[in-house]
Amino acid sequence: MRTHYIAYFSPAGSTRTVAKMIETALQRHEIKAILLDLAPQGGADMATLAPKVKADACLWLGTPVYVDHAVPQVLEFIAALPQGINGVAVPFATWGAVCSGVTLLEMAQHLGKRGWTTVGAAKVLALHSSLWASAKPLGAGHPGADDAEKMGALVAAVVQKLSATPVVPLGAQVLDYLPPAYAAEAWEKSLTVTKAVLGKHQPDRSRCNGCGTCVKLCPTGAFTWEDGYPVVGERCVRCHQCTRHCLQQAFAYAGEVIETRLHQMSAQSPEQAETVIYV
Ligand SMILES: Cc1cc2nc3c(=O)[nH]c(=O)nc-3n(C[C@H](O)[C@H](O)[C@H](O)COP(=O)(O)O)c2cc1C
Ligand code: SF4
Ligand code: SF4
């Protein structure tokens, strides 16, 4: 009998919601899962968390899609997973109706390099976390009851799969679902490049009162202090939790520009805005 772990990185909450859906669905099969939060307030060390996953695990691993990819911290977590322990994995990604990119394929490839077999996967439609202030956010109402139902079906299929020996892996091409031109473009994109294009993300010191809320909330532990002011470092993933919760509005946020751009990108997306399970 395998031990089920649900590890998730969720700055804005949708990926956590899906993790909870999986936990609830597993309980229906009388399976109690161990949850690992990869993005708690203040951040987490992946090299400490990953070894908590023990032999014969079934690892449900969730990330938001960020610029067509898994967040770097989730790939760090995979790189720190124990090897040669007969592990199987079910990567899942939440996405904001723009493009799910190569996220699931990338996770499966990284898991494979560590000797982990991918047996299922899901891309789950979710509220776009860059559009929290928008009157018409992409992915509104998701993840919801229909997504929970699909995740329940995925859990049932995976549990069924795990009862057979040997376990049947997910077909190699199943997660390579984007049209080739879009996939090639997605591989080229990255959060690092996007961050460079967007410019610096630092609080305006003329507004900041040094309250420390942003430092406490940051799910990647990206902040240090300098002269009594918080300074954002390289581990920032632009999740905008600091922007959202700073009462002094010290972080710049071009909401309308972002909204227009993301709606344009969503309209040109090669994907249907829906949740899909792969098993
Ligand atoms: C920096 C950033 C990049 C994002 N990139 C994409 C993307 O490439 N495609 C997409 O459909 N959604 C994208 N999103 C939306 C998130 O994938 C989506 O809202 C996700 O559910 C957020 O997960 P969370 O609520 O667990 O943080 C992005 C959000 C942020 C903040
Ligand atoms: S939350 Fe805003 S005001 Fe408080 S320390 Fe951070 S930037 Fe400064
Ligand atoms: S956007 Fe703010 S809260 Fe999010 S990772 Fe960067 S510094 Fe931390």
Q: What is the CATH number of the domain that holds 105?
A: 3.40.50.360
Whether residues 150 and 88 share a domain: the answer is yes
Instruction: Evaluate the omega torsion of the peptide bond into residue 143 and state whether it is cis, within 30 degrees of 0.
Output: yes
> What's the whole-number mean pLDDT along residues 226-236?
97
Whether residues 127 and 30 share a domain: the answer is yes
Instruction: Evaluate the omega torsion of the peptide bond into residue 51 and state whether it is cis, within 30 degrees of 0.
Output: no
Per-residue tokens: 95: 């996405």
Distance in Å, CA 258 to ligand 3 centroid: 17
172 pLDDT exceeds 90?
A: no
pLDDT of residue 179: 97
Listing DSSP states for the chain in one string gives -PEEEEEE--SSSHHHHHHHHHHHHHHHTT-PPEEEESS-TT---HHHHGGGS-TTEEEEEEEE-BTTB--HHHHHHHHTSPSSS--EEEEEEEE-SS--TTHHHHHHHHHHHTTPEE--EEEEE---TT-TT-SS-TTTT-S-HHHHHHHHHHHHHHHHHHTSSSPPPPPTTTT--S-HHHHHHHHH--HHHHHHHH------TTT-----HHHHH-TT--EEEETTEEEE-TT-----HHHHH-TT--S---HHHHHHHHHHHHHT-SS-SS-EEE-
Three state DSSP letters for 62-87: EEECECCECCHHHHHHHHCCCCCCCC
Q: pTM, whole model, 2 decimals?
A: 0.98
Whether residues 49 and 163 share a domain: the answer is yes
CB of 219 shorter than 6 A to ligand 1: no
CB of 19 shorter than 6 A to ligand 1: no
Whether residues 130 and 230 share a domain: the answer is no
Distance in Å, CA 86 to ligand 1 centroid: 31
- What is the β-pairing status of strands 223-226 and 229-232? antiparallel
Report the 10 Å Cβ neighbour count for 51: 11
Per-residue tokens: 14: 């949708």
1 pLDDT exceeds 90?
A: no
Average pLDDT, the chain: 97
Whether residues 178 and 197 share a domain: the answer is no
Q: Which of 205, 206, 214 to mutate to test the pocket of ligand 2 (most atoms within 8 A of CB)?
A: 214
- Residues 79-116 have pLDDT tens digits of 999 999 999 999 999 999 999 999 999 999 999 999 99
Structural domain boundaries, residue 247: 191-267
Taking Cα atoms as reference points, which of 159, 166, 164, 176 lies closest to residue 123? 176
Query: Is 53 in contact with 82 (CB distance < 8 Å)?
Result: yes
Whether residues 241 and 140 share a domain: the answer is no
Domain count, the chain: 2
Cα atoms in the 13 Å half-sphere on the side-chain side of 135: 1
198 pLDDT exceeds 90?
A: no
pLDDT of residue 59: 98
- Distance CA(43)–CA(75), nearest Å, equals 15
Whether residues 127 and 36 share a domain: the answer is yes
Distance in Å, CA 213 to ligand 2 centroid: 6
Query: Is 127 in contact with 14 (CB distance < 8 Å)?
Result: yes
Whether residues 93 and 203 share a domain: the answer is no
> What's the whole-number mean pLDDT along residues 64-79?
98
Q: Which of 9, 22, 65 to mutate to test the pocket of ligand 1 (most atoms within 8 A of CB)?
A: 65
Q: Which ligand is nearest to the CA of 210?
A: 2
Side chain identity, residue 238: R
Please give the C-alpha separations between residue 64 and each of 17, 72, 233, in angstroms, as whole numbers: 12, 11, 21
Whether residues 164 and 211 share a domain: the answer is no
Whether residues 115 and 58 share a domain: the answer is yes
216 pLDDT exceeds 90?
A: yes
Query: Is 218 in contact with 42 (CB distance < 8 Å)?
Result: yes
Whether residues 257 and 219 share a domain: the answer is yes
Q: Which ligand is nearest to the CA of 128?
A: 1
Distance in Å, CA 66 to ligand 1 centroid: 5
State CA 21 to chain mean position distance.
Answer: 15
Whether residues 20 and 117 share a domain: the answer is yes
